[in-house]
Structure 1
Amino acid sequence: MLDVAVLVALVSAVVMAVSGNWDATIRFGVIAVVMVAVRTSDVPLPFAGAFAVLLLVSTWAAVRHWYRQIEHFDLLVHLLTPGSLAAVGYFFLVHQRLLPDARRQTPRLRSAAPVLWVVLVGTTAAVVWEFYEVVMEQLAPSSMNVGYTDTVLDLLAGMLGSAVAGGLVLAWGRRSDTGPQRDGG
């Protein structure tokens, strides 16, 4: 699934370039690079694949203005995307030996550490994204429709999505505590 997502991102970048939409071309090019980096970072494929699909959906949503056209779509993306980013970020940081591996911890640490780290990574990502939205609203007021309530709900959704992702990382760690594995997908 991850390789297909990379291909879709690259094709999307080319289509946007041909149509003269340089902002979208850059967005799709950047997410293709991010997906390739994830592919080379020992992130389990189910987590990497979900992240890649959510990146594609959120990018197409921005390009096609689905956030304005589909009610509550923004909230759904803010629920799912930071959580998937947090899980991928956790596995990347484990691969770099900067965080403890959920598969190699004492039972007490295993029950809390991965969830906590994923929530922290996801919440940080949600906060950084909200900073980006505020900056974009100041630079191009018509590009973003943000306000206090939108920001608070987006942050809450990002935190909740990250907590769910933390639970999924913990469940994965308990299931595959024999060492690094890449699940097929």
Structure 2
Amino acid sequence: MTSKNRAGSWVFGAAVAVAVASAGYLGLMQRWDGMLRFAAVTVVLLLTRRAKVPTGFVAAFAVLVLLAMWGSAQHWYAEIPHFDTVVHVLTPGSLAAVSYFLLVDAGLLPDAREPGRQVRGWAPALWVGLVGTTAAVLWEYYEWVVEQISPQGMLVGYTDTVVDLFAGMCGSLVAGMLVLRWARRRAEHSATPR
């Protein structure tokens, strides 16, 4: 195991521990919605680690999901300027990158990492970009539903929605490029005689 993989594994393990501790803490504070969110995050993180998602991608996803969840629990979206935009740039892309590797692991997408596997040029980057953008759109639907049910619970408007969608799309396209770059470097490394 390389030092990068060890560091990624350590970060991922710490993120899972923080998710479990967060669920416990919020449960003790009787903040049941937050407790359930962190419990769900813990399950999702453990499922992503069971698959063959590269350590760096799963570690980044774990940290970003925790940041997004704590932002919601502590109202950082309203209190910290541009926090919402930063989360919308980073989270959909990390989710889409992890989803790509999960679908490869399930045999539903071709693996760009395999030496000799002909994956059409930009297909992984495009796929990650599209999935991340879709995730951003679905999140905006969720915000709209919450705003309709509980108007005081989430105050968003047209500009916020458009900025969030654009941020999610840009972050997802960057994540797609990172997946493509990682896969190509991995394939080149595997093809190099030792």
Is TM (by shorter chain) over 0.5? yes
Q: TM-score range by the shorter chain?
A: over 0.9
Report which stretch shifted further, 91-100 or 73-82. 91-100
Partner of 2:56: 46
SS in 1 for 2:156: coil
Matched with 2:139 is: 129
User: Percent identity between the aligned chains?
Assistant: 54
- Tell me, in whole angstroms, the C-alpha distance in 1 between the residues paired with 2:180 and 2:132: 15
TM-score (norm 1): 0.92
What does residue 139 of structure 1 align with?
Answer: 149
Letter in 1 for 2:78: R
Partner of 1:98: 108
Listed one character per residue, the Cα deviations across residues 46-95 of structure 1 (whole Å, up to 9, x for unaligned) are 00000000000000000000000111110110000000001001111111
Alpha-carbon shift at residue 147 of structure 1 (Å): 1.1
1:106 Cα deviation (Å)?
2.8
Q: In 2, Cα distance between the equivalents of 1:147 and 1:99?
A: 37
Deviations 1:113-167 (A, max 9, x none): 0011001110111111111101111111122121111111111111100000001
Query: 5+ residue gaps in structure 1?
Result: 180-185
Q: Distance in 2 between matches of 1:170 and 1:112?
A: 7
Measure how far apart 1:41 and its partner are: 1.2
C-alpha RMSD of the superposition: 1.3
What residue number does 2:8 align with?
A: none
Are 1:102 and 1:169, in contact at CA under 8 Å, matched by a contact in 2? Answer: no
SS at structure 2 position matched to 1:103? coil
Once residues 107 and 185 of structure 2 are traced to their aligned partners in structure 1, the CA distance between those partners, rounded to angstroms, is 21
Mean CA deviation greater in 140-149 or 165-174: 140-149
Deviation at 1:9, TM superposition (A): 0.2
Which fold has the larger relative contact order, with Cα–Cα distance below 8 Å and residues 6 or more apart in sequence?
1
Secondary structure at the residue paired with 1:92?
Answer: helix
Aligned residue pair count: 177
Counterpart amino acid of residue 171 in structure 1:
R
